[in-house]
Amino acid sequence: MKSKTIPAMLLASGMVSGVAVADLSNNATKPNVRFSYEQVENVNIFYREVGSKDSPTILMLHGYAASSFMWRDVIEALSGDYHVIALDLPAFGFTESPAREDYEYTFANLANTVDKFIKQKGITSFAIAVHDYGAPVGWRLALKNPGKVTAIISQNGNAYEEGLADGWGPIKKYWQDPSSENRAALSDFPTPESIKWQYVEGVPDLTKVSPDGYTLEGLHVSKPGMADIQLDLLLDYKSNVEQYPQYQAYFRKYQPPLLAVWGKNDPFFSPEGAQAWKRDIPKAEIHFFDTGHFALETHQSEIIPVIKDFLQRNLK
């Protein structure tokens, strides 16, 4: 008789490293997320993908300081009904990005890279889920492909000047005068300490904030040259504010189904920014949660059912 393999013996015993077999069998029901790279010119984009390509596609665009990792719970929840792609933007996460002198780190260029990624993947229509920096990338994609965007979900992704909260004060000074002095005044922005603050500020119960997200991004921003790239993007955010009227004109003309799920204590994007959508999209659905900038880190159990309900009603 053949001897059992070690895994088979462990399964027969009902225990693997102290974990009951019943627990292992539950893992079989988890979505089969695929982790891949796509070379787009000189950027090697890392992305997470799940679901059938025959299902409606949802493109997820993270913000600062985050990566596709921020969407992990949403990806799992939507995996059975949708084709979900969450990518890491250039200069974020696991995407292999060029040096500062070899790539133009502007929001226009980030959007161009993502647009080429979409084309290479053969995606002809998609909903967008956006957060923070991912929002102006998403809005630019919508301007390029207005007929392709099927719906919009915004988790603290802004498109209105009234949504710019007090946290933008020193950054606006940098926009008005991008001197070395004003740039140096923001040197603590791309640091692990500042990133952690963004994750916990405005959160009533800090025990709900996992350290995984801010630790991962803190390590990433500490890489050589990354701080300067992030300060370049921070300066270029001014271009997004200048384009707000164009984004708003798109909302008015095309009336995309829109859901805003908003951490109301966000130090950067205030609730007024979410409420402003009602001017341009009267049927926009706006929901506020008692948390900060990264609402999905603390209120995923409340937000995900809202997202699923919205998509079920608006994506066919």
Catalytic positions, written as ranges: 293
Amino acid sitting at position 231 = L
- Indicate the DSSP class of residue 267: S
Which residue's structure tokens are 């009603």? Answer: 313
The burial of 266, by beta-carbon neighbours within 10 Å (0-12 exposed, 13-18 middle, 19 or more buried), is given as buried
CB atoms within 10 A of CB 302: 15
How many other C-beta atoms are found inside a 10 Å radius of the C-beta of residue 53? 11
Residues in contact with 22: Cβ distance below 8 Å, sequence separation at least 6, in sequence order: none
Complete DSSP assignment for 6-62: HHHHHHHHTEETTEEHHHHHHHTTS---EEEEEEETTEEEEEEEES-TTSPEEEEE-
Count other C-beta atoms under 10 Å from residue 26's C-beta: 10
